[in-house]
Amino acid sequence: MPDDVTQKNDGRRLADTAAWIRALLSVVQIVGGFVSGSTALVANALNGLAEMTSHLIVLAGRRLARHPPTKEISFSYGRIETVAALVSCSVIPVIGLYLVYVSLVRMAEPAPINGRIVVVVAVIVLLTNAIVDWLTRMAGKGSATTHSFSSSELSSALSTAAVVSGGALLMLYDIRWVDPFVAAIIASRAVWTSVSEVARTLRSPTLEARPKVDAEEIIRQIKSVDEVESVHHAHFWLLDPQSVALDAHIVVSTTCWQNAEAVRDRIEAMLIRKFGIVHSTLELETPNRELDECHAYGM
């Protein structure tokens, strides 16, 4: 167990360090973009800035999660992460749309761009990100908290490679419209990603648990427990962006009523083992106490 905890902590530290390095690379790209006149470098920095913002949100969530619940805030501060995510995801589209506008203007009226600076900065970013990703995966192998190479990281690498290609065309052939064209594509992608994230975050006030849980499968597994006859008035909701909670009425057979607590224990153990639902509130009933026209979900 101590080894698992140590491995998880090491994985978190590696992920934290990687996020800060990517944030620093974003700053380098912004500076390089202004010095060289490249819109593509600035647009590519959006990905790193978005990741840095997400990282800060996670850190804030971890710190707030350490505060114990109070009588005023009985569910603790986990949902503050959702509010921060909504704010951060709302800023990126504004910056991205502005960069799309600037890119379109520059495509119509190309400005001088130092292709050599663009290539050097983009290559440094590309190589550094590749090294950081490789070291993170190697050092955190087997740790669930250490992220693996994902489609988003591949997309970020392709964006940086496109910036390198645009800078090379500038150096070799002075094709100035390529840089704002690449910037428009990268910024459009950042806008689309952020808007999608905003849409996902906006579902949080409804306490929607999708896609965290398969409600029908969970209900089926509860019914498969010995002595359980039916389930009704089930509520699946989010304590915070990661934790799902369940409230439900469980109808158990009359013959086992004296051992109903043992049935509850088996259900709770199954919910934790199979679905990771640690917080569950289960009200046990006998068939003669079950209400007429009970709904499977909700009130």
10 Å CB burial of residue 273 (0-12, 13-18, 19+) is: exposed
Segment 44-63 shows an average pLDDT of: 67
- pLDDT higher than threshold 80 for residue 152: no
Q: Are 230 and 248 in contact (CB under 8 A)?
A: no
- To the nearest 10 degrees (0 to 180), the angle between helices 178-202 and 80-108 is 160
Per-residue pLDDT reduced to its tens digit, 182-233: 999 998 988 887 777 666 666 555 545 455 668 888 899 999 998 898 898 8
Please enumerate in sequence order all residues whose Cβ is within 8 A of that of 52, keeping only pairs 6 or more positions apart, or say none: 19, 20, 22, 23, 26
What confidence score (pLDDT) does residue 278 get?
A: 84
CA pair distance 144, 152, nearest whole angstrom? 18
What confidence score (pLDDT) does residue 11 get?
A: 58
Per-residue pLDDT reduced to its tens digit, 24-42: 888 889 999 999 999 999 9
Angle 74-53-67 from CA coordinates, rounded to 5°: 25
Q: Are 155 and 189 in contact (CB under 8 A)?
A: yes
Q: Are 208 and 202 in contact (CB under 8 A)?
A: no
Domains of the chain: residue spans and CATH: 2-204 (1.20.1510), 215-289 (3.30.70.1350)
Q: Are 238 and 208 in contact (CB under 8 A)?
A: yes
